[in-house]
Protein backbone atom coordinates (compact mmCIF):
# COMPACT_ATOMS: atom_id res chain seq x y z
CA UNK A 1 0.00 0.00 0.00
CA UNK A 2 1.24 3.47 -0.87
CA UNK A 3 -0.39 6.87 -0.69
CA UNK A 4 -1.20 10.06 1.16
CA UNK A 5 -3.95 9.99 3.77
CA UNK A 6 -5.55 12.33 6.29
CA UNK A 7 -7.07 10.98 9.50
CA UNK A 8 -8.06 14.41 10.79
CA UNK A 9 -11.74 15.00 11.63
CA UNK A 10 -13.82 15.99 8.62
CA UNK A 11 -13.74 19.69 7.97
CA UNK A 12 -10.62 20.34 10.03
CA UNK A 13 -7.70 21.95 8.19
CA UNK A 14 -4.49 20.06 7.65
CA UNK A 15 -1.35 19.99 5.56
CA UNK A 16 -2.71 16.96 3.70
CA UNK A 17 -6.07 17.35 2.05
CA UNK A 18 -8.90 14.86 2.69
CA UNK A 19 -8.09 11.58 0.92
CA UNK A 20 -9.74 12.28 -2.44
CA UNK A 21 -8.26 15.76 -2.76
CA UNK A 22 -4.88 14.57 -1.50
CA UNK A 23 -4.70 12.06 -4.33
CA UNK A 24 -5.13 14.94 -6.78
CA UNK A 25 -2.73 17.23 -4.94
CA UNK A 26 0.04 14.62 -4.77
CA UNK A 27 0.33 14.75 -8.55
CA UNK A 28 1.19 18.44 -8.72
CA UNK A 29 2.49 21.53 -7.00
CA UNK A 30 0.42 23.87 -4.87
CA UNK A 31 -1.12 26.61 -6.98
CA UNK A 32 -0.54 30.15 -5.73
CA UNK A 33 -4.04 31.34 -6.62
CA UNK A 34 -5.56 28.43 -4.73
CA UNK A 35 -3.30 29.14 -1.77
CA UNK A 36 -4.27 32.82 -1.70
CA UNK A 37 -7.96 31.93 -1.92
CA UNK A 38 -7.54 29.64 1.11
CA UNK A 39 -6.16 32.50 3.23
CA UNK A 40 -2.49 32.08 2.49
CA UNK A 41 -0.10 35.03 2.54
CA UNK A 42 -2.66 36.93 4.63
CA UNK A 43 -1.72 40.29 6.12
CA UNK A 44 1.05 40.03 8.68
CA UNK A 45 -0.27 39.76 12.22
CA UNK A 46 0.91 41.61 15.26
CA UNK A 47 4.04 39.47 15.73
CA UNK A 48 3.67 39.07 19.47
CA UNK A 49 0.05 37.98 19.12
CA UNK A 50 0.85 35.14 16.72
CA UNK A 51 3.77 34.06 18.88
CA UNK A 52 1.52 34.01 21.94
CA UNK A 53 -0.98 31.85 20.03
CA UNK A 54 1.78 29.41 19.09
CA UNK A 55 2.80 29.20 22.74
CA UNK A 56 -0.79 28.80 23.93
CA UNK A 57 -1.53 25.81 21.68
CA UNK A 58 1.80 24.17 22.49
CA UNK A 59 3.16 23.81 18.96
CA UNK A 60 6.34 21.72 19.04
CA UNK A 61 9.03 21.47 16.41
CA UNK A 62 8.67 18.66 13.90
CA UNK A 63 12.34 18.16 13.12
CA UNK A 64 12.87 15.44 15.70
CA UNK A 65 13.43 16.84 19.18
CA UNK A 66 9.91 18.19 19.69
CA UNK A 67 11.25 21.42 21.23
CA UNK A 68 8.55 24.06 21.92
CA UNK A 69 8.36 26.30 18.84
CA UNK A 70 7.51 29.47 20.77
CA UNK A 71 10.57 29.11 23.00
CA UNK A 72 12.83 28.82 19.97
CA UNK A 73 11.21 31.79 18.22
CA UNK A 74 11.56 33.98 21.30
CA UNK A 75 15.19 33.01 21.80
CA UNK A 76 16.02 34.13 18.26
CA UNK A 77 13.93 37.29 18.59
CA UNK A 78 15.63 38.29 21.84
CA UNK A 79 19.22 37.57 20.78
CA UNK A 80 21.45 40.55 19.88
CA UNK A 81 21.63 41.30 16.17
CA UNK A 82 19.36 41.01 13.14
CA UNK A 83 18.06 37.41 12.87
CA UNK A 84 17.71 35.18 9.82
CA UNK A 85 15.41 32.19 9.21
CA UNK A 86 16.33 28.87 7.61
CA UNK A 87 13.64 26.37 6.60
CA UNK A 88 15.28 22.99 7.12
CA UNK A 89 14.01 20.49 4.57
CA UNK A 90 16.91 18.04 4.68
CA UNK A 91 15.53 14.74 6.00
CA UNK A 92 18.42 12.75 7.35
CA UNK A 93 16.26 9.88 8.55
CA UNK A 94 16.03 7.38 5.66
CA UNK A 95 12.47 6.39 6.57
CA UNK A 96 10.98 9.90 6.49
CA UNK A 97 9.39 11.61 3.46
CA UNK A 98 7.21 14.34 4.97
CA UNK A 99 9.56 17.28 4.45
CA UNK A 100 10.31 16.43 0.82
CA UNK A 101 6.58 15.96 0.19
CA UNK A 102 5.77 19.37 1.66
CA UNK A 103 8.47 21.11 -0.36
CA UNK A 104 7.42 19.34 -3.56
CA UNK A 105 3.67 19.86 -3.14
CA UNK A 106 3.08 22.64 -0.58
CA UNK A 107 5.96 25.07 -1.21
CA UNK A 108 3.82 28.18 -0.76
CA UNK A 109 2.75 27.02 2.68
CA UNK A 110 6.40 26.61 3.68
CA UNK A 111 7.39 30.01 2.21
CA UNK A 112 4.48 31.63 4.04
CA UNK A 113 5.76 30.04 7.25
CA UNK A 114 9.19 31.61 6.63
CA UNK A 115 7.52 34.98 6.13
CA UNK A 116 5.64 34.67 9.42
CA UNK A 117 8.67 33.40 11.33
CA UNK A 118 10.64 36.38 10.01
CA UNK A 119 7.92 38.74 11.22
CA UNK A 120 7.91 37.19 14.70
CA UNK A 121 11.69 37.22 15.11
CA UNK A 122 12.54 40.43 13.26
CA UNK A 123 14.48 38.53 10.59
CA UNK A 124 15.13 40.30 7.30
CA UNK A 125 15.96 37.32 5.06
CA UNK A 126 15.59 33.57 4.84
CA UNK A 127 16.79 30.39 3.20
CA UNK A 128 15.27 27.07 2.18
CA UNK A 129 17.75 24.27 2.81
CA UNK A 130 17.24 20.97 0.97
CA UNK A 131 18.85 18.15 -0.96
CA UNK A 132 15.93 16.97 -3.11
CA UNK A 133 15.94 18.10 -6.77
CA UNK A 134 12.14 17.98 -7.31
CA UNK A 135 11.68 19.95 -4.09
CA UNK A 136 14.15 22.57 -5.27
CA UNK A 137 12.30 23.01 -8.55
CA UNK A 138 8.98 23.42 -6.76
CA UNK A 139 10.38 25.93 -4.27
CA UNK A 140 12.06 28.05 -6.94
CA UNK A 141 8.83 28.16 -8.93
CA UNK A 142 6.89 29.19 -5.83
CA UNK A 143 9.44 31.91 -5.03
CA UNK A 144 8.80 33.40 -8.47
CA UNK A 145 5.03 33.33 -7.91
CA UNK A 146 4.69 34.51 -4.31
CA UNK A 147 3.66 38.00 -3.29
CA UNK A 148 6.33 40.35 -1.98
CA UNK A 149 8.12 39.21 1.15
CA UNK A 150 11.57 38.95 2.68
CA UNK A 151 14.31 37.81 0.29
CA UNK A 152 14.63 34.01 0.37
CA UNK A 153 17.42 31.96 -1.19
CA UNK A 154 17.68 28.21 -1.80
CA UNK A 155 20.70 26.21 -0.64
CA UNK A 156 21.20 22.67 -1.95
CA UNK A 157 23.21 20.14 0.00
CA UNK A 158 24.18 16.49 -0.31
CA UNK A 159 21.85 14.06 1.43
CA UNK A 160 23.40 12.54 4.56
CA UNK A 161 22.13 11.57 7.99
CA UNK A 162 23.87 14.52 9.68
CA UNK A 163 23.25 17.20 7.02
CA UNK A 164 19.98 18.28 8.65
CA UNK A 165 21.48 18.85 12.11
CA UNK A 166 21.05 22.56 12.83
CA UNK A 167 24.74 23.46 13.11
CA UNK A 168 25.46 21.49 9.93
CA UNK A 169 22.72 23.55 8.24
CA UNK A 170 24.41 26.77 9.35
CA UNK A 171 27.82 25.62 8.12
CA UNK A 172 26.43 24.68 4.71
CA UNK A 173 24.44 27.91 4.27
CA UNK A 174 27.65 29.78 5.12
CA UNK A 175 29.38 27.95 2.27
CA UNK A 176 31.09 25.21 4.26
CA UNK A 177 30.50 21.47 4.59
CA UNK A 178 27.21 20.15 5.95
CA UNK A 179 28.83 18.83 9.12
CA UNK A 180 27.85 19.46 12.74
CA UNK A 181 29.98 21.68 14.91
CA UNK A 182 30.52 21.78 18.64
CA UNK A 183 28.00 23.71 20.76
CA UNK A 184 27.84 26.37 22.18
CA UNK A 185 27.23 28.65 20.48
CA UNK A 186 23.91 27.40 19.20
CA UNK A 187 22.42 28.88 16.03
CA UNK A 188 19.98 31.09 17.95
CA UNK A 189 23.05 32.76 19.48
CA UNK A 190 25.36 32.80 16.46
CA UNK A 191 24.33 31.15 13.25
CA UNK A 192 24.44 32.09 9.56
CA UNK A 193 27.01 34.85 9.14
CA UNK A 194 27.19 35.18 12.91
CA UNK A 195 23.55 36.33 13.12
CA UNK A 196 20.99 34.81 15.48
CA UNK A 197 19.42 32.10 13.33
CA UNK A 198 16.13 30.24 13.48
CA UNK A 199 16.65 26.80 11.95
CA UNK A 200 13.10 25.47 11.71
CA UNK A 201 11.80 22.25 10.20
CA UNK A 202 9.60 22.83 7.15
CA UNK A 203 6.60 21.10 8.74
CA UNK A 204 6.89 23.40 11.76
CA UNK A 205 6.84 26.44 9.47
CA UNK A 206 3.96 25.04 7.42
CA UNK A 207 1.91 24.55 10.58
CA UNK A 208 2.57 28.15 11.59
CA UNK A 209 1.28 29.29 8.19
CA UNK A 210 -1.82 27.12 8.49
CA UNK A 211 -2.50 28.40 12.02
CA UNK A 212 -2.33 31.97 10.71
CA UNK A 213 -4.72 31.21 7.85
CA UNK A 214 -7.13 29.28 10.10
CA UNK A 215 -6.75 30.70 13.64
CA UNK A 216 -10.01 29.12 14.78
CA UNK A 217 -8.46 25.68 14.25
CA UNK A 218 -5.05 26.40 15.79
CA UNK A 219 -5.36 23.54 18.30
CA UNK A 220 -6.10 20.98 15.58
CA UNK A 221 -3.24 22.24 13.45
CA UNK A 222 -0.72 22.26 16.29
CA UNK A 223 -1.60 18.80 17.54
CA UNK A 224 -1.60 16.98 14.21
CA UNK A 225 1.47 15.17 12.92
CA UNK A 226 2.73 14.10 9.54
CA UNK A 227 3.96 10.52 9.88
CA UNK A 228 5.78 8.27 7.43
CA UNK A 229 4.71 4.63 7.75
CA UNK A 230 6.63 1.70 6.30
CA UNK A 231 7.27 -1.97 6.91
CA UNK A 232 8.83 -5.09 5.50
CA UNK A 233 7.28 -8.38 4.48
CA UNK A 234 9.60 -10.60 6.51
CA UNK A 235 13.29 -11.27 7.07
CA UNK A 236 15.41 -11.52 3.95
CA UNK A 237 18.88 -10.44 2.97
CA UNK A 238 18.97 -6.77 2.08
CA UNK A 239 15.31 -6.37 2.97
CA UNK A 240 13.58 -3.21 1.84
CA UNK A 241 10.28 -1.68 2.87
CA UNK A 242 8.49 -3.17 -0.10
CA UNK A 243 5.20 -1.52 -1.06
CA UNK A 244 4.37 0.15 2.26
CA UNK A 245 5.17 3.83 1.92
CA UNK A 246 2.37 5.87 3.46
CA UNK A 247 2.40 9.54 4.41
CA UNK A 248 -0.42 10.36 6.80
CA UNK A 249 -1.63 13.30 8.85
CA UNK A 250 -3.02 12.12 12.16
CA UNK A 251 -4.10 13.64 15.48
CA UNK A 252 -1.72 13.42 18.41
CA UNK A 253 -2.56 10.45 20.60
CA UNK A 254 -3.45 8.13 17.71
CA UNK A 255 -2.53 4.57 18.69
CA UNK A 256 0.37 3.06 16.79
CA UNK A 257 -1.73 0.00 16.06
CA UNK A 258 -4.11 2.16 14.02
CA UNK A 259 -1.17 3.50 12.04
CA UNK A 260 0.04 -0.05 11.35
CA UNK A 261 -3.44 -0.82 9.99
CA UNK A 262 -3.22 2.22 7.72
CA UNK A 263 -0.13 0.90 5.93
CA UNK A 264 -1.28 -2.71 5.87
CA UNK A 265 0.87 -3.91 8.77
CA UNK A 266 -1.82 -5.01 11.22
CA UNK A 267 0.15 -8.18 12.01
CA UNK A 268 3.42 -6.37 12.83
CA UNK A 269 5.31 -7.85 15.75
CA UNK A 270 7.16 -4.70 16.79
CA UNK A 271 8.07 -1.20 15.62
CA UNK A 272 11.11 0.97 15.08
CA UNK A 273 10.20 4.47 16.30
CA UNK A 274 11.20 7.92 15.12
CA UNK A 275 13.17 6.85 12.07
CA UNK A 276 16.34 5.43 13.61
CA UNK A 277 16.24 7.77 16.60
CA UNK A 278 13.44 6.29 18.72
CA UNK A 279 14.60 2.71 19.11
CA UNK A 280 12.76 -0.59 18.92
CA UNK A 281 9.61 -1.37 20.89
CA UNK A 282 8.17 -4.84 21.34
CA UNK A 283 5.27 -6.09 23.48
CA UNK A 284 2.55 -3.47 23.90
CA UNK A 285 3.72 -1.29 21.01
CA UNK A 286 0.28 -1.20 19.34
CA UNK A 287 -1.27 0.58 22.33
CA UNK A 288 1.36 3.32 22.48
CA UNK A 289 0.01 6.78 21.57
CA UNK A 290 1.61 9.08 19.04
CA UNK A 291 2.81 11.61 21.59
CA UNK A 292 6.28 12.97 22.39
CA UNK A 293 6.00 12.78 26.17
CA UNK A 294 4.26 9.41 26.39
CA UNK A 295 6.61 7.73 23.94
CA UNK A 296 9.53 9.15 25.90
CA UNK A 297 8.06 7.79 29.11
CA UNK A 298 7.90 4.37 27.41
CA UNK A 299 11.61 4.59 26.59
CA UNK A 300 11.18 5.59 22.94
CA UNK A 301 11.01 8.81 20.94
CA UNK A 302 8.70 10.18 18.26
CA UNK A 303 11.56 11.91 16.45
CA UNK A 304 10.61 12.91 12.91
CA UNK A 305 7.46 10.78 12.98
CA UNK A 306 8.78 7.90 10.85
CA UNK A 307 7.52 4.48 11.97
CA UNK A 308 8.86 1.21 10.56
CA UNK A 309 6.72 -1.81 11.42
CA UNK A 310 8.45 -5.18 11.70
CA UNK A 311 6.79 -8.27 10.28
CA UNK A 312 6.54 -11.13 12.84
CA UNK A 313 9.19 -12.98 10.80
CA UNK A 314 11.58 -10.03 10.95
CA UNK A 315 14.46 -10.59 13.33
CA UNK A 316 14.84 -7.54 15.63
CA UNK A 317 18.55 -8.35 16.02
CA UNK A 318 19.01 -8.06 12.26
CA UNK A 319 17.02 -4.81 12.16
CA UNK A 320 19.09 -3.31 14.98
CA UNK A 321 22.34 -4.44 13.34
CA UNK A 322 21.33 -2.85 10.01
CA UNK A 323 20.25 0.39 11.68
CA UNK A 324 23.48 0.79 13.64
CA UNK A 325 25.62 -0.25 10.65
CA UNK A 326 23.96 2.53 8.66
CA UNK A 327 24.52 5.07 11.44
CA UNK A 328 28.17 4.07 11.80
CA UNK A 329 28.67 4.52 8.05
CA UNK A 330 26.97 7.94 8.21
CA UNK A 331 29.15 9.28 11.03
CA UNK A 332 30.69 12.66 10.19
CA UNK A 333 33.95 11.30 11.65
CA UNK A 334 34.62 14.53 13.51
CA UNK A 335 34.13 13.21 17.05
CA UNK A 336 36.33 10.36 18.20
CA UNK A 337 33.73 9.06 20.62
CA UNK A 338 31.17 8.84 17.80
CA UNK A 339 33.54 7.09 15.40
CA UNK A 340 34.74 4.54 17.94
CA UNK A 341 31.43 4.21 19.80
CA UNK A 342 29.11 3.69 16.84
CA UNK A 343 31.63 1.38 15.15
CA UNK A 344 31.93 -0.72 18.32
CA UNK A 345 28.15 -0.96 18.58
CA UNK A 346 27.85 -1.92 14.90
CA UNK A 347 30.56 -4.57 15.06
CA UNK A 348 29.17 -6.06 18.25
CA UNK A 349 25.60 -6.22 16.91
CA UNK A 350 26.93 -7.86 13.75
CA UNK A 351 28.64 -10.47 15.94
CA UNK A 352 25.35 -11.05 17.80
CA UNK A 353 23.54 -11.53 14.50
CA UNK A 354 26.17 -14.06 13.33
CA UNK A 355 25.86 -16.01 16.58
CA UNK A 356 29.40 -15.10 17.62
CA UNK A 357 28.61 -13.19 20.82
CA UNK A 358 29.93 -14.33 24.20
CA UNK A 359 28.52 -14.12 27.71
CA UNK A 360 29.91 -10.58 28.15
CA UNK A 361 28.42 -9.13 24.98
CA UNK A 362 25.09 -7.94 26.40
CA UNK A 363 26.87 -6.21 29.25
CA UNK A 364 29.17 -4.35 26.87
CA UNK A 365 26.27 -3.29 24.67
CA UNK A 366 24.38 -2.03 27.71
CA UNK A 367 27.33 -0.02 29.01
CA UNK A 368 27.97 1.56 25.62
CA UNK A 369 24.30 2.35 25.03
CA UNK A 370 24.18 4.13 28.40
CA UNK A 371 27.50 5.96 28.09
CA UNK A 372 27.43 7.15 24.47
CA UNK A 373 24.45 9.59 24.38
CA UNK A 374 25.29 13.28 24.59
CA UNK A 375 28.98 12.85 23.83
CA UNK A 376 28.98 13.79 20.15
CA UNK A 377 28.37 17.05 18.29
CA UNK A 378 25.04 15.72 16.99
CA UNK A 379 22.44 13.08 17.76
CA UNK A 380 23.86 10.27 15.59
CA UNK A 381 25.61 8.41 18.43
CA UNK A 382 22.51 8.90 20.58
CA UNK A 383 20.42 7.17 17.91
CA UNK A 384 22.84 4.24 17.68
CA UNK A 385 22.86 3.89 21.45
CA UNK A 386 19.07 3.98 21.67
CA UNK A 387 18.69 1.27 19.01
CA UNK A 388 21.17 -1.01 20.80
CA UNK A 389 19.73 -0.30 24.26
CA UNK A 390 16.14 -0.83 23.16
CA UNK A 391 17.08 -4.19 21.59
CA UNK A 392 18.39 -5.33 24.97
CA UNK A 393 15.35 -3.95 26.80
CA UNK A 394 12.63 -5.35 24.56
CA UNK A 395 14.25 -8.45 23.04
CA UNK A 396 16.74 -9.88 25.57
CA UNK A 397 15.58 -13.41 24.77
CA UNK A 398 16.33 -12.92 21.06
CA UNK A 399 19.82 -11.62 21.84
CA UNK A 400 20.51 -14.57 24.12
CA UNK A 401 18.97 -16.96 21.61
CA UNK A 402 21.41 -15.79 18.96
CA UNK A 403 24.28 -16.50 21.33
CA UNK A 404 23.12 -19.95 22.39
CA UNK A 405 21.32 -21.32 19.33
CA UNK A 406 22.22 -18.95 16.50
CA UNK A 407 19.80 -17.58 13.90
CA UNK A 408 19.93 -19.21 10.45
CA UNK A 409 18.30 -16.23 8.74
CA UNK A 410 20.84 -13.78 10.18
CA UNK A 411 23.76 -16.10 9.52
CA UNK A 412 22.75 -16.60 5.89
CA UNK A 413 22.29 -12.86 5.33
CA UNK A 414 25.96 -12.04 5.90
CA UNK A 415 27.14 -8.64 7.11
CA UNK A 416 24.30 -6.14 7.61
CA UNK A 417 24.10 -3.59 4.77
CA UNK A 418 25.08 -0.07 5.79
CA UNK A 419 23.14 1.83 3.12
CA UNK A 420 19.82 2.06 4.98
CA UNK A 421 17.97 0.16 2.26
CA UNK A 422 15.63 -1.61 4.71
CA UNK A 423 14.34 1.71 6.00
CA UNK A 424 14.35 3.89 2.86
CA UNK A 425 10.95 4.70 1.39
CA UNK A 426 9.92 6.62 -1.76
CA UNK A 427 8.06 9.91 -1.61
CA UNK A 428 4.41 9.12 -2.42
Domains in the chain, ordered, with CATH? 7-219 (3.40.50.11540), 223-428 (3.10.20.600)
pLDDT of residue 180: 95
pLDDT, tens digit (0-9, with 9 covering 90-100), for 60-89? 999 988 899 999 999 999 999 999 999 999
| CB contact at 8 A, 308 and 271 | yes
pTM for the model stands at 0.94
| CB contact at 8 A, 9 and 224 | no
pLDDT, tens digit (0-9, with 9 covering 90-100), for 87-144? 999 999 999 999 999 999 999 999 999 999 999 999 999 999 999 999 999 999 999 9
Residue 240's pLDDT band (boundaries 50, 70, 90)? low
- What gap in Å lies between CA 18 and CA 215, rounded to an integer? 19
pLDDT of residue 32: 92
CB-based burial, 222-244: b 16+ in 10 Å, e otherwise:
bbbbbbbbbbbbebeeebbbbeb
pLDDT for 26 beyond 60: no
Residue 243's pLDDT band (boundaries 50, 70, 90)? low
pLDDT of residue 10: 84
% of the chain beyond a pLDDT of 90: 76
Residue 17's pLDDT band (boundaries 50, 70, 90)? low
Read off the pLDDT of each residue in 403-417 and give the average, rounded to a whole number. Answer: 86
pLDDT for 239 beyond 70: no
- What gap in Å lies between CA 213 and CA 305, rounded to an integer? 24
pLDDT of residue 414: 82
Q: What share of the chain is helix, strand, coil (3-state, %, to 5)?
A: 45, 15, 40
The mean pLDDT of the chain is 91
Q: Label residue 132 left, alpha or beta by phi (over 0 means left) and psi (-120 to 50 means alpha).
A: beta
Amino acid sequence: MTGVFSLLPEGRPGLLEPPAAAARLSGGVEDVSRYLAAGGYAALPVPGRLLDRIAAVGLRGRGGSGFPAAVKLRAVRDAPGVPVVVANGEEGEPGSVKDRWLLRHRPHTVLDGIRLAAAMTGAERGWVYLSDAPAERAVRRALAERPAGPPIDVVRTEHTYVAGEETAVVRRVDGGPALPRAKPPRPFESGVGGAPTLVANVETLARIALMHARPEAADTVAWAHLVTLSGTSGTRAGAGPGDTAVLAEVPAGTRLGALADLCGRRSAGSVLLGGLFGGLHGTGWADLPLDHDRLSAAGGALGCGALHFLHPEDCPVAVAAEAVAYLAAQSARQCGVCVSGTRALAETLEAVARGEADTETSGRLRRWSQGLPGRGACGLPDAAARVAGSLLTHFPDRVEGHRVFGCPACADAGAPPDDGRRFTVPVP
